[in-house]
Amino acid sequence: MTTLLLLKEIYVNSFTEFENRFIANLLKVMSWFCFTCLILVFYAFFYRLFTGFTFQ
């Protein structure tokens, strides 16, 4: 739980220094997109792993 709180604090603090709100919002959208892509990759890998897919 402490790790998640530290990651949240880093995420929030990283966007407070930006003066240009457009850049800050663009980077926020890109970071959420990357996070979503990682979740999708992990889901696909574990789905294939647990359904008996042969990795060759």
Indicate the domain borders of the chain.
2-50
pLDDT(4) > 80 = yes
Tell me the pLDDT tens digit for each residue of 22-53. Answer: 988 898 899 899 999 999 999 999 999 899 88
Beta-carbon contacts of residue 11 (< 8 Å; ≥ 6 apart): 31
**Could you tell me if 12 and 3 are in contact, meaning their C-beta atoms sit under 8 angstroms apart?**
no
Instruction: Categorize the per-residue pLDDT at 21 as very low, low, confident or very high, splitting at 50, 70 and 90.
Output: confident
pTM of the model: 0.67
